[in-house]
Structure 1
Amino acid sequence: MIRRNARTLMPIAALALGAGLGTAVYCGPAAAAETTDVVRSGAADDTYSSSSRPSYNFGSSSTLVAGRQGADTMIGFLKFTVAAPGAGGTVKGAKVTLTRASGNLPGSIVLRKVAGTAWTEKTLNAKNDPALGAAIGTAKPAATAATVSFDVSSVVKGPGTYSFAVTSAVANTPARFRSSEATTGQPALDVTVTRKVVTQPTESAPATSPATPSPSPATPSPSPTTPSQSPTTPATTNPGECAVGAKLVPTCGVLWGAAAGGFSDVPRDEALKTFEAKTGRTSTIYHTYHKGDELFPTKAEIAMTNDPAHPRTLMLNWKVGYGTTWANVAKGDQDARIDRLATYIKANFATKQFFMVLHHEPENDVNPKDGSGQTAKDFAAMFRHTALRLKADGVTNAVFVVAYMNYEKWNSASWWYDMYPGDDVVDWIGVDTYNNAQPGGFHYGDFNYMMNRTSAGFPGFYNWATTKHQGKPVMVAEWGVYDSSATVVGKNKAAVYATVLPQLAKMPQIKGLVYFETAKDQSGHDIRMDDTPEALAAFQQIAADPRFNVKL
């Protein structure tokens, strides 16, 4: 289940270090190397002012206008927040990219520095717009150029908030760019970061072959818009030793799972079996969705956990507040609904542990207005009340997961942190997160970017979870890759999939990885792992990795 909004993007590319697949064996001293990442940020604020409409605010417009039309002079304003590059990181360069929205571009467009950063897109107009500074760069684009870029390396040299103005002196041909409110092509600031890393020399032995062997996708040349193609880092433990312990946390390795057949009429158990046959691995986690008065797990779901040849556990998603509000659930208005489910679980599924997600992706349903019953704090109270009520009712085998959307607009909201229900009732911290495989497209990036998109005041999801809630296992409760290219190119998804294993190895707190597979989501995105042969071959390489050999 996916919803999409806007704001900030994050690590897009990293230069490959070495190559090959297999089991690494230490054979020498550590060596220093340098990696290059491109950190992409969306505008924290963007709008424009109009001299002929001095009191008017354009902060909600999907278009950013700059230039002259008759006596009207319009100036576009952009503000970006750049996070610290991290330990050992050095900012080496930066550029701002704007996407043409409509009409022809003027022959000359100037980007200027703006010292003031206190303005906001909801309040700026021609009466209060900040003073313009020196020109940073001038672009002379073709009239129908798709994008216009400006080198801002002279200004962006480290973390901070940066403001820019877009102007043009060309008469009667104002530039119209897409703003952050547009659905695609939002303004972007790409910051190039280099850092020293230490690697251990290795010798490789062949890894387990995927179910359908196929040549690895060609590695594209590293660029600011190419996902990194790092060497696969194999599991460092004996896969035969990995098993689940308390709260279904694996003693080593990572739980593998899927929610297959989303937004289709195919029965979910049938869809999952097809997914498993194509990928070559049993989905240890079987993710399904329920709401309101539905009783679960269903007989079909229980049957999937009783297959000795394909051992699985359930991840059951429940919108307990369906038809009412979170505040009402927290007050006890739906205790009869909770108690009824508890009775059913104890009678039908009392002996096996399972994951229970309470109202996944809550951000999209938050109404921050006091008294709405749907504030972030109401969600936290609903989650706490439901979890504690189920436990009091004797449901002892539920492992509770809070699952966020990982969307920049929400992550930067003032209320976002209020949603966390508390370490005492949260067993796993989950995230639903998706990438676009279209080079240069919105939400284009590698696995690290998928897990660690930054935004104003937010350090990235994995960074937040592991810093603020140390020791809590992280569940990637939904993940997927789609390709928004006008013509789907097989190597695009394959390139993103190729980054999963090496970057997953650098995120040891991720203990579960659950793919959401659908031919068409709410936005029309195809998130199937087999929409092209190249994508399937690359995904099979992920599935074949021994780190997912965790015994239930």
Structure 2
Amino acid sequence: MIRRHARKFLPIAALAIGAGAGTTIHSGVAAAAETTDVVRSGAAEDSYSSSARPTYNFGLAPTITAGRQAGDTMIGFLKFTVGPLGTGTTVKSAKVTLTRDTKNLPASVTLSRVADNAWTEKALTGKNAPKLGASVAVAKPAATANAVTFDVSSVVKGAGTYTFAVTSSVANTPARFKSAEAAAGQPALDVTVGRPTVVKPIEDVKPTKPVTTPTTPATKPTTPVATTPVATTPAAPVTPAECKVDAKLVPSCGVLWGAAAGGFSDVPRDEALKTFEAKSGRTSSIYHTYHKGDEVWPTKDEIAMTNDPAHPRTLMLNWKVGYGTTWAKVAAGAQDARIDKAAAYLKANFATKPFFLVLHHEPENDVNPAAGSGQTAKDFAAMFRHTALRLKADGVTNAVFTVAYMNYEKWNNTAWWGDLYPGDDVVDWVGVDTYNNAEPGAFHYGDFNYLMNRTNDPKFPGFYTWASTKHPSKPIMVAEWGVYDSSKVVQGKNKAAVYATVLPQLAKMPQIKGFVYFETAKDQSGHDIRMDDTPEALAGFQKIAADPRFDVKL
């Protein structure tokens, strides 16, 4: 297993060559011998650049893309740091191994040297990417090869920092390799070294049997593993009182914790939330509920949940204002009476406490791209704008407007997806609903980085990368997230393994300011998204809930 940014080097194979049972060494003579082992380093930094998207940063993407597609040239960048190898150690050879992602590989992939080591994965873009040097190695992989290996012995001669670029001139078949953010198969630099040993006189050492250190298996772990964050100066510990929210519910530090409990069940939402809180061990600062059409919201029970002094909470209300009609008609004013009624109720019953208002969450599912349907992506954006502006004009001052997408590759890849965004002037938070499968190797299986940044199209960099790049001033709300296990026989370790990746990888996504778990025993597809379906899963989830970064004071 490769641990990214590790400062210790992992011996892959150490072959002991020296005095063993039956070996005779004359007294007073020191015989020179050598052991050979492999020092493995994970990528300290990795990302890629795009000529078609020169301002995008892909440092948190689970893949490194290199090649040409539809006029876009993408170049992968890898930085490895090899630490001290020891006195008298000689480098025998070195190789870089990259593991293929899901797409076929091009017929030719080139690894080049890069002299500039100053770049970082969080800042690299097409505009500031370092210049490429001479080619080091060219690989001719099979389209479905599991991995590609490059001989870099001509470059790696000892300890130091080494940057390489990955390119391909093959048109419309870009290479997609797993990055250090992937759950398994991260990039590796293996340096084979020889280490001198001295065999002491026979009277000074007892004969021993030859010892061989087992070779580390070449196969990668099949369960998600936490990616070690980029080394930074540790932040000073904070107390709950230090992390507070502003008028738009953006915390000064930390992350708001929340839940939508009891989904798709007859259990009252407030009762389900209290049970969820008792099991997880933390009050849900965000209480997520759902309404549509002419329903009155927030209900008296929902308001009561925000008035509990022992458990301070705010509301996240999903409202499908266009229920029973079309987005285009809402935008044209056909539902202004519905909007005005909601505004009047808010001002009379819930006028001061800020709350999140999500207008028609997961709109992608309801888009009809046909012209005149009233349900195009642009119609959604117009509906959102009209509703938000109308509520503001009606005197509603405490609604924090949130757009909530669904993180599904099918929709991200459509031509109309970019038209959904209503505009920075009416959006306070950018949200996403996203779910992972804990069954190893199954569809949508992966770690937390995959949960937030999965993509199967090089044109879309992953949700977190997209939102943080295109809307850097907007806090990101994980409005719904959850983990299910589609295994025939559910194993608690599967969910626990996914949960174990959340905290270290969340630390690398500073724009996430809200984090809401969706809990249900059975969703529309029959998935069990409860965090306590097994004792192992519950224990893993409780570790997340106990983290002090969620100690935000409302």
Q: Deviations over 1:333-374 (max 9, x none)?
A: 000000011111111101111000000000111111111111
**Partner amino acid, structure 1, of 2:337:** A
State whether residues 100 and 177 of structure 2, in contact with CA within 8 Å, keep that contact through their aligned partners in structure 1: yes
What secondary structure sits across from 2:317 in the alignment?
strand
| d(CA) in 1 for partners of 2:533, 2:45 | 31
Which residue of the partner structure matches residue 551 of structure 2? 549
When residues 459 and 112 of structure 1 are mapped into structure 2, their CA distance, relative to the original with a 3 A threshold, is: closer
Change (3 A) 1:311 1:161: farther
| Structure 2 SS opposite 1:512 | strand
> Is the alpha carbon distance of 1:310 and 1:495 closer, same or farther for their aligned partners in structure 2, counting shifts above 3 Å?
same
Q: 1:394 to 1:193 in 2, by over 3 A?
A: same
Q: Could you tell me which runs of 5 or more consecutive residues in structure 1 were left unpaired when the two chains were aligned.
A: 1-11, 20-31, 42-78, 99-110, 116-134, 139-148, 165-187, 197-219
Aligned to 1:399: 400
Q: Match for residue 228 of structure 1?
A: 225
Between 1 and 2, higher relative CO (CA 8 Å, sep ≥ 6) is seen in: 1
Deviation, structure 1 residue 526: 0.7
State the partner residue of 1:181: none
Residue 146 of structure 2 is aligned with which of 145, 148, 151?
151
**Aligned partners of 1:493, 1:82: CA distance in 2, in Å?**
38
Q: Aligned partners of 1:89 and 1:282: how far apart in 2? A: 42
TM-score (norm 2): 0.66
Distance 1:112 1:505 in 2: 32
Q: For residues 259 and 481 of structure 1, do their structure 2 counterparts lie closer, same or farther at Cα, with a shift above 3 Å needed?
A: same
Structure 2 spans left out of the alignment, 5+ residues: 9-40, 47-59, 64-69, 82-95, 109-139, 151-164, 180-184, 190-216
Matched length: 408
Find out whether 1:425 has 2:430 as its counterpart.
no
What is the identity, as a one-letter code, of the residue corresponding to 2:345?
Y
Q: CA deviation at 1:225?
A: 3.8
- Counterparts of 1:170-319 in structure 2, within 5 Å, are 193-194=186-187, 223=220, 225-230=222-227, 236-239=236-239, 240-319=241-320
> Does the CA-based 8 Å contact 2:261-2:518 persist in structure 1?
yes
**Superposition pairs of residues 25-424 of structure 1, within 5 angstroms:** 34=43, 85=76, 88=79, 92-95=97-100, 137=142, 150-151=145-146, 153=148, 157-158=166-167, 193-194=186-187, 223=220, 225-230=222-227, 236-239=236-239, 240-424=241-425
Percent same amino acid at aligned positions?
Answer: 69
Offset from partner CA, 1:485-511 (integer Å, 9 cap, x none):
111111111111111111111111110
Which whole-Å CA distance do the structure 1 matches of 2:62 and 2:264 have between them? 31
Deviation at 1:223, TM superposition (A): 2.1
Whose radius of gyration is greater, 1 or 2? 2
Shift of 1:40: 6.8
Deviation, 1:517, is 0.5
Distance 1:482 1:524 in 2: 10
> Does the 8 Å CA contact 1:317/1:357 hold for their aligned counterparts?
yes
SS at match of 1:252: coil
Query: Counterpart of 1:524?
Result: 526
CA–CA distance in structure 2, aligned partners of residues 276 and 160 of structure 1 = 54
1:229 counterpart SS class: coil
Q: 3-state SS of the aligned residue for 2:319? A: strand
Q: What is the CA-CA distance between 1:226 and the residue it aligns to? A: 3.0
Deviation of the 1:238 alpha carbon: 1.1
Distance 1:310 1:462 in 2: 30
The answer (yes or no) to whether the contact 1:35–1:194 under 8 Å persists in 2 is no
State which of 504, 510, 522 in structure 1 corresponds to 2:506: 504
Matched with 1:45 is none
Shift of 1:459: 0.8
Matched with 1:538 is: 540
Report the Cα offset of residue 39 of structure 1.
7.3
> Is the Cα contact below 8 Å between 2:453 and 2:464 reproduced in 1?
yes
Distance 1:112 1:246, change over 3 A: closer
Displacement of 1:453 = 1.2
Give how far 1:162 is off. 7.2
